[in-house]
Each structure stands twice: as structure tokens, then as C-alpha cells.
Structure 1
Amino acid sequence: MLRLMIVDDEQIIREALSQMIDYESLGYELIATAKNGMEAYDIICDEYPDVVITDIRMPILNGLDLIERSIKTDSKISFILLSGYNDFEYAKQAMKYGVRFYLLKPTDKNELIDSLVSIRKERLQEEERRKSQQVDLLKTLHIPLEQSFIMELLEHQDTFSSVFHKYQELLSLPESCLYACICSFVEEPYLKNFATDIVKILNLEGLRLDFSILYVKNTAVLIFPATTLATQERIKNSILKLHYPNQSVTFETEFIHMETSEKLFYYVIQKISRFERILLLSEKGESYEIRNHITAPWMISHLEDSITSAPDIIQANELLNSVFIDSMPPATARSLALGLFLQADLSQEKPPIDAACDFFRRLYSCDNVTEIRNLLSVVLVQKEHETGGHKASSNIALLKTYIREHLDSENLSLKWLAENYLFVSVGYLSKQFVKEEGMRFSDYLNKERMEEAIRLMTYYHNDNIKQIARQVGFGSNPQYFSQVFKRYTGLPPTDFIEKLKNTKHKGE
């Protein structure tokens, strides 16, 4: 369901628009209505709608100003503009902001339905593209993800189920229908040939590996769906026919099946856990080593524990700096950072797929180790230490710190912070903020901005309203700043400044 909001300063029109259409049947949830642009913008900051139906001519913040400000916090919002004036200038300005749906009042029901249907169709197509991009991204990262998965399973067998489910969606592991084929007497010098031959054998059956080949001391573990005995027999016979120069013995195979993928991987981990050296083999035969030695200082869990148990942020960052040194290859740093992100278990047992992919994109867009280190400093170090390692609280503490340091920014919305800074789901963050702070995000943001404006007026004797508006995040809209300031203090900024001057003169 797409989240829909209606904005109009006339109550009768708001109510008519709310009741005119069965929005649910079109795939929409009407989450809020607002009587002016200022109220609408606060709701957008809190409720992250997908689509906004808005009037143009409204007091305080008109429809075009609302759009201009809103797209700075969430460029993905779709707007449908309503106007009682057939004014081409409005339409031109709206198009400049990317608005394509401009309807005249009185609103024609069918035109509005057509607009909503068109937007939903586009959103569904965008969602399909986004999911396809996520799948492609995760495919490119499957080796570092699998490495992190195996290492964490080996180290945390007491919490095997939670670790498995954390990675299941990231690795596209099905609930069932997986088999493990244990191939014995596979000698390491022939691994590359073996891996490419296995891929060919499976391709002939219309199958593919669901996980990279696991290899420990002359034994290879193949994981793929082989649902019939006939298929298994054909694959077994094809493997037994493989032969490489100077290979001393013939291969042996054994098929293992469990009712769930989780149980299958539990069996596999038990088989390989006693080996210190484990290899992951890609379909092209490239090998990646995992050292199964829990006391090794480079182990991800050891590093994560060290960072989170450091007495303060300074020492935690120093530890991060000592590991992520500038001479480290960026590819190595990215792989280690990916494992730290997943093992840190951030705010929930299972990181949302969208948040995880957002982090992966940010991580793999880092050009050097310094950028990777800075990213981890926020996502891992500060988040762990803001409130003694309590994940949910640290999200809110980190969010509040960011707001204080970026009050001049116009793109401070809950959705922007969730997706671009904290890498958690916006729904989760919204509920957590209200629970911990006892107020909506927009109220907190406006309070911080108004208190900063008052501080600038009182202690720095700044009486330039335009300058103050820019400094507290209102950009080039001092009129909107004045309205919010008046709502907060009861006085317009000019009257408040005059009152401060009078108080000062009386004190003298």
C-alpha cells in the first residue's frame, strides 16, 4: 500500500477528497490530512508519505513552497497539485519540481483516480527496478557475505538460528529444497578445475549452486536443489567420472537432505567446524580463505567486541584507525567493514534488507580506506557508545547529535536520516523516537531549531531574520521560519527581538 496524504486549507474540500474515492481499492492508505502547508510539512517529516494531494493556494506555506521544501527531504514523494486557478505559471513552476499531475478545482473524481493509478503503476515499476538492483548488488557481494555468514556461524553456534535468519534473505537461501552433496578425496591442486566442472554438470541438469563450494582438507561441500533421486544419481555419476592428471583416488559422493535450509547448514557447519582452514570456491574456481580460529586477533567478532567494549568513543575510534590503516587494500577494508556491519547486529536481530543494501551501496562507493573508516565510525563506533551499547537508544542519541550538528540543513527528515545516516527502517525509527522522546520527530526538530534561533538572537544579538532562518534550516524562506517561530514563542521574530532589546535597555 502507498501512503497518501491530503492537504487543503478548506475543511469541506479536505473531507470531500478524503471520502470521494475508495483509496484502499487503488492500493493507497490515507495516513493523514493537513489544513496548511506548515502542518503538512511536519507530517511529511514524521509520516513519510509516498503521495501528497495538495492545494496550491494556502496560508503560511503554499503548495509550491511545500513541494520545494519536501523534495529536499524526500525526492521520491509524488505530488498531485490542485488549483482553482487555470494559471500556466503555477503549472510551469510545478513542473520545475518534477510534478506531472496538475488538476483544476472542482476536482474531477476520474481525473484524480487516473492520476493515482498512474503514480501507483510507476511506483510498482520503480519497486521492481529497485528490487532487481538489490538482487544484482547482493550477487556481486555474495563472496564477502558468505564469508561473513560462515565465520559468524562458526563463532556463534549457540545462537545459530538467529545468525542464519539474519543472513537468509541477504543470501537468498530458500526455506527448504536444498541438498548438500559431500564430495570426498578432492585434492586441492585440482580445485579450480573441479569447481568449473561442477558448474557444467549442474547446468546440464538445469541447476545451479545456491552457495559457493565449501572446501576442507580434500572434501568439497556442494549446496544446491536436487529434488529427485534420478537427478541425484545422474549428478553423482557425472562427478565420479571426473578425473584429473596425477589424481591418486576416485571421488566419493554422499547426498544429505534436511527438511529446512537452516538444519542443512547446521549439519554442514558441524562437519567443517573442526577444520582450521576453510575455502570458499566461486563458480569460476576462485578460492577465498576463512581461518576458523576463534582467538585470532583479526577475527571480526574479536574486533567488534574490542570496539564495543572500549571505554569511550575516542579509544574505540583509535582501535578502528589501527585496524583500517591507509595502506590496507580498499577491497580488504570493504570486506571487513561488511562483516562488522552485519555482526554488530545494529538495531534489530535481522537488519532490514533495504537498510542493509543502502549500507552496502554506501560502503562500496567509498574510494579509499579513510572514507570506509569514517563510515564505520558513525555506523559502528558512535552507535555503540552513545548510550552504552543499547542499540535502539543509541539510534535516537545519534540522530539527536546529528540534528544538533546540522541544524542549518533543510533535508532533516526521519526518512532521510533512517536511509542515509542510520541505515535502519524508517518505520522502526519512527516508533522508537516517539517511545523514547515522548514527542513526534517534527516537534523535536522544530524545538531544536527555535531554541537555536532564540540563542542567536539573545546571545549573539543577531537581528537579521533571513540569516537566522538560513542558519536554522529554513533556507530562503524567512516567512515560513517566522510562522514556526511565532507558533513556538507566541511572538513573531521581529517582536521577539524588540522585546529582547527593551529588556536589555531596562537592565542598563
Structure 2
Amino acid sequence: MLRLLIVDDEPIIREALSEMIDYISLGYKLIGTAKNGMEAYDIICDEYPDVVITDIKMPILNGLELIEKAHKTDQHITFILLSGYGEFEYARKAMQFGVKHYLLKPTKKAELIETLKTFYQTTLKQALASQQQQSSVLHKVHIPLQQCFIMEALEYPLQLPSLFQKYQRLEVFSDSSLTACFCFFVEESYLFPSFTQDIHKILKHLGICLSFPILYVKNTAIIIAPLNTLLLQEDFKAAVVKLHYPCQSTSFEASICHCDTMHTLFSEIIHKISRYERILLVTDTEQYELINSLTSPQRLQQLTEQFYSLDTELQREHFLHTLFCEQQDIQRSKTLAVSIFLNTNSTAACSIESACDFFKKLYSCSSISKICELLCAMLSVSRHNITSKKSNIALLKEYIEEHLDSETLSLKWLAQNYLFVNVGYLSKQFIKEEGMRFSEYLNQKRISEAVRLMSYYQKDNIKYIAQQVGFGNNPQYFSQVFKKYTGSTPSDYLNMLKHPSQNSIHMEPLLHK
């Protein structure tokens, strides 16, 4: 569902807009209403709406100022402007920020519904295009991801349910197959391409496809496919045992393993292949050897720990270049980079968008040097997170302290561009740990710093102070937020500092976490 925010300084209009449309039936969730631009901006920082319906003429921050400020934080928010006759100059200015929807007051229900429907359809098309792009990126790394899954599952069999969930998000499994066929006495000499191609032909004749590449260990081939009826299982087994190749010493035998869930099925498979040191992963075009080598999870953990232990950027760059030069082949280097990324980013908070973004950048690398450069940047962030042993919220608060003058700070921006986690996950985590919303925490920090600067410099340049604490070129908005949190305007506070004996202004205590 798309997230919707309504902003209007007139209570009657706010209430009417909230209740006159069944937003859920249109694919929208109403996340809140705001009575002015300042309140709306705080909600935008906390609730990351997709659509904002806003009046133009409002106190503190008008509609255009709200759009301008929000645009610096999140350019993907769509605004629907509401205004009266004779205010088309506002519409012209709004177009500078990509605003395409401008409705006259009193707002007609049918017109607003049509606007929302149009935007919803546009968003669906964009989401579909984005999903297709993600699928295309994941398709490029499909085999490396499957190799990584098997290696991790062999290393950590007790963690298979969570591993399965992690890799399922990355489209490692093509469907919800619950069946595997174990084909015995398959000698490696005719495994590829003869046996593999014949298996594909049999499955095609039955109208199904492999759910995972063929796994092969010492004369046993494991075919994972949706043979989910007894008829399909018997037909497949009969076709397999009829296969015969020159110099074949023993006829094939086949056994079906059927489970209630896919991760239970893989538990059975992993248990059966775990005793073997050498495992082959076989597709219709190629076969890959899996052994306890550089790409084993334990070895990857050792490599990342070695990387984290190095003190300087130069040492870390040299370490990666030495490691990857041993690989020589660029495709093997990319597979190793995928393995390291997955080993480093194993938490549920890591978003599919972040993973796809890394894979897309990785597979556009034209040299091992470029791969090292990309991986070094990713691991450096991870190194900071691990060596400092700080939670996401601690890192977020640290970033705010260092970038308090930035106008772009919002929960969504920090989730996507700094912590690389899901914004919904981060929002719940922040409220749980801090006991307040992100916008409230950020405003308190900014006003606290403003008070410190004014107390130190005692200058009348409110505009300069506003810029230093992240309010940009908007001293009026800064004054409103300052008064909300202190009970006094910046000018009155400066006056009190200069003439303490002549003023009886009482500053309300700033809240601190």
C-alpha cells in the first residue's frame, strides 16, 4: 500500500479529506494528518510517505516551502497541491520541484479519486519495472548465490531455516518445490553434458523445470524439481532408469524424497551431501565444483576478520588486491565478492534493494582492481560497524552529531544511504531504543546545538545559526521550531543573553534523551 499524508491548516478541510474517501480501496494507507508545514515535515521525516496532499497557504511553512524542504530529503515523494482561484503562480513555482498535480478548492471528490488512481497506476508500473530490474540483477548472480547457499548450509546446518529465508529473498529458489529425486550409480564421466541434458529433456516433456541446479556427490545426482504428484514422480523415475550410456556398468536407480516445506527438503539434502568433501553444482550449460576452500563460510569469516584487523585504508586495499589477484579470472573474483558480501550482510535488516545495488555495481566492474575498490568501500563501512560494536541506532545518532548542519537528514535517507537497512525496521528500532520519534530526537539535537552556539557567540545572525544546525536558508522555520522546544524565539533568547538583568524570559528546559 502507498503511504498518504494530508496537510491543511483548516480542521474542517483536514477532517473532510480524511473521511470523504475510502483510501484503502484505492491502495493507500492514511498515515496521518498535519495542521501546518512544520508538523507535516516532522511526519515526513518519521513516516516516509509516498504521497502528500497539501494546502498551499499555511502558517510556519507554506505548501511550497514544505515541498522544497521535503524535496531535499526525499525526491520520490509525490505532492498533490490544493489551492483556491488566483493562485496559479504557486503552481508554476511548484513545477520546479516536479509537482504535477494541482487541484482547486473546494476539492471535488471525484477529481481527487481520479488523481490518486492515476498516481497509483503509475507507481505500479514503476514498481514492476524496478522488480524486473532487480530480477535481472539477481539473475546475473544466480549461480554464485546458489553456491553460497550450499556452502553456508553445509557450514551451519542448524541455521538452515534462517539461511533459507535469507536466500529466498534473493530469488535463489525458482519455486516452492517439495520434491527431490536421488539418482544413484551416475558416473561422473557422463554426468555432463549427457546425463544433465537428458534430465532437462525429461522434465521438459513432463512440463516442469528444475528448481535448483543438479547436485552431484560421488555417483549420486540430486534433482530438485516440482514433482509434487505421485504420477509425476513415477513418470520421472521410469524415464531416468531407462537412460543408458556407453561403458555404463550399472543401471540407474531412483528414489523420491518429498517434504512438507522447502527448507525441510533442503535439510534432508544437506544432511546427505554433508559427508562429501567434493560437491558439484550442475546447470544445463556448466558445472561448478564446491569444496572447503576460499569460498567456505568459515574461510570467508577469517578473511573479513583479517580485513577488519588492518589499521589503515592503504593496508586494507593492499590486502584485497593480493587476495583477488590470486583468483586471476574476473568471474571467479566476482563470485568471491558475492560470497564476501553475503557473509558480511547476513542480517534481516539488509534490504533487497541494497543487495541488488551492490550486485549491479559488482557486475559492471570491468577489472579485478574495480572489484577490489567496490568491496573495500563496502567492507570499510562494515568494519566500522563491527569494530565499534555499536547498534544501528548508536551509529545513526553518531552520524547526526557529525552532520547536524545537513538538511537531508531523515530516517529514510539514513536507512538507505548510510545504514543500508529497511526503513520500517529502523523506525521501530529507533522508537524502541529511544522512546521517541526520530524527528523529535533530531529537532531536540538541533535546537540544543543552536542554544549552545547562541550562548557562545551571542550574535544576532539568526540565519547563520539556522544554517549551522540544519535548517538551511529558512530562519523563519528555525524560529518556529526553536520556540516550540524552548518557549522563546531565537531573538528573545539572544536578547536575554545580552541583557540578563533586564529580561524575565524563562527558557523552558530542553529535552534530552
Q: Give your verdict on TM over 0.5.
A: yes
**Is 1:186–1:220's contact at 8 Å kept on the other side of the alignment?**
no
In structure 2, the CA distance between the partners of 1:429 and 1:244, relative to structure 1 (3 Å rule), is same
Give deviations 1:76-101, integer Å, cap 9, x for gaps.
22211100233332222222322221
In structure 2, the CA distance between the partners of 1:300 and 1:449, relative to structure 1 (3 Å rule), is farther
1:264 aligns with 2:265: yes
Aligned twin of 1:90: 90
Deviation of 1:215 (Å): 2.2
1:445 aligns with 2:442: yes
Which region of structure 1 is more displaced relative to structure 2, 324-333 or 271-280?
A: 324-333
Residue identity opposite 2:224 in structure 1:
I
Aligned twin of 2:476: 479
**Is 1:333–1:369's contact at 8 Å kept on the other side of the alignment?**
no
Distance 1:422 1:260 in 2: 33
1:325 aligns with 2:321: yes
**Is 1:466–1:478's contact at 8 Å kept on the other side of the alignment?**
yes
Distance 1:235 1:319 in 2: 55
Distance 1:10 1:282 in 2: 64
3-state SS in 2 of match to 1:255: strand
Give deviations 1:441-486, integer Å, cap 9, x for gaps.
1122223333444455555777654444444333333433343334
Residue identity opposite 2:477 in structure 1:
Y
Distance 1:278 1:492 in 2: 71
Aligned ranges for residues 94-173 of structure 1 at < 5 Å?
A: 94-170=94-170, 171-172=172-173
Residue identity opposite 2:264 in structure 1:
K
Aligned twin of 1:5: 5
Stretches of structure 1 that go unaligned for 5 or more consecutive residues are 389-393, 504-508
Stretches of structure 2 that go unaligned for 5 or more consecutive residues are 501-513
Aligned twin of 1:370: 373
1:409 aligns with 2:411: no
Which region of structure 1 is more displaced relative to structure 2, 142-151 or 415-424?
A: 415-424
Aligned ranges for residues 50-449 of structure 1 at < 5 Å?
A: 50-170=50-170, 171-172=172-173, 174-188=175-189, 191-236=192-237, 238-239=239-240, 251-285=252-286, 287-292=287-292, 299-304=296-301, 324-325=320-321, 328=324, 332=332, 334-344=334-344, 346-348=346-348, 353-354=352-353, 356-358=355-357, 360-361=359-360, 367-378=370-381, 380-387=382-389, 394-449=391-446
**Is 1:2–1:51's contact at 8 Å kept on the other side of the alignment?**
yes
Deviation of 1:43 (Å): 0.5
Give deviations 1:401-430, integer Å, cap 9, x for gaps.
222333333322111222233232212211
Which region of structure 1 is more displaced relative to structure 2, 129-138 or 4-13?
A: 129-138
**Is 2:56–2:83's contact at 8 Å kept on the other side of the alignment?**
yes
Aligned twin of 1:506: none
Distance 1:156 1:444 in 2: 40
Which region of structure 1 is more displaced relative to structure 2, 406-415 or 468-477?
A: 468-477
3-state SS in 2 of match to 1:289: strand
Deviation of 1:432 (Å): 0.8
Deviation of 1:52 (Å): 0.9
In structure 2, the CA distance between the partners of 1:138 and 1:306, relative to structure 1 (3 Å rule), is closer
How many residues are paired up?
491
Deviation of 1:7 (Å): 0.5
Distance 2:164 2:99 in 1: 44
In structure 2, the CA distance between the partners of 1:22 and 1:227, relative to structure 1 (3 Å rule), is closer
Distance 2:56 2:79 in 1: 11
In structure 2, the CA distance between the partners of 1:316 and 1:252, relative to structure 1 (3 Å rule), is farther
Deviation of 1:134 (Å): 2.9
In structure 2, the CA distance between the partners of 1:404 and 1:325, relative to structure 1 (3 Å rule), is farther
Which region of structure 1 is more displaced relative to structure 2, 403-412 or 15-24?
A: 403-412
3-state SS in 1 of match to 2:275: coil
In structure 2, the CA distance between the partners of 1:246 and 1:433, relative to structure 1 (3 Å rule), is same
Aligned twin of 2:40: 40
In structure 2, the CA distance between the partners of 1:265 and 1:62, relative to structure 1 (3 Å rule), is same
Give deviations 1:374-413, integer Å, cap 9, x for gaps.
21222x323334436xxxxx11112122223333333221
Residue identity opposite 1:408 in structure 2:
D
3-state SS in 2 of match to 1:53: strand
Residue identity opposite 2:375 in structure 1:
I
Deviation of 1:332 (Å): 4.9
3-state SS in 2 of match to 1:324: helix
CA-based RMSD: 3.4
3-state SS in 1 of match to 2:213: strand
**Is 1:456–1:462's contact at 8 Å kept on the other side of the alignment?**
no
3-state SS in 1 of match to 2:324: coil
**Is 1:333–1:372's contact at 8 Å kept on the other side of the alignment?**
no
Give deviations 1:256-283, integer Å, cap 9, x for gaps.
3223222221121122111112222233
Distance 1:166 1:316 in 2: 32
1:488 aligns with 2:485: yes
Q: TM-score, normalised by structure 1?
A: 0.84
Aligned twin of 1:391: none
In structure 2, the CA distance between the partners of 1:482 and 1:264, relative to structure 1 (3 Å rule), is same
Residue identity opposite 2:272 in structure 1:
K
Which region of structure 1 is more displaced relative to structure 2, 458-467 or 200-209?
A: 458-467
3-state SS in 2 of match to 1:180: strand
Distance 1:117 1:147 in 2: 43
In structure 2, the CA distance between the partners of 1:237 and 1:14, relative to structure 1 (3 Å rule), is same
**Is 2:7–2:53's contact at 8 Å kept on the other side of the alignment?**
yes
Distance 2:33 2:452 in 1: 33
Which region of structure 1 is more displaced relative to structure 2, 330-339 or 19-28?
A: 330-339
3-state SS in 2 of match to 1:274: coil
3-state SS in 2 of match to 1:220: strand
Distance 1:333 1:449 in 2: 45
**Is 2:155–2:297's contact at 8 Å kept on the other side of the alignment?**
no
Distance 2:127 2:137 in 1: 15
Deviation of 1:128 (Å): 2.7
Give deviations 1:21-72, integer Å, cap 9, x for gaps.
2223323222211111111011100011121110011122111121122233
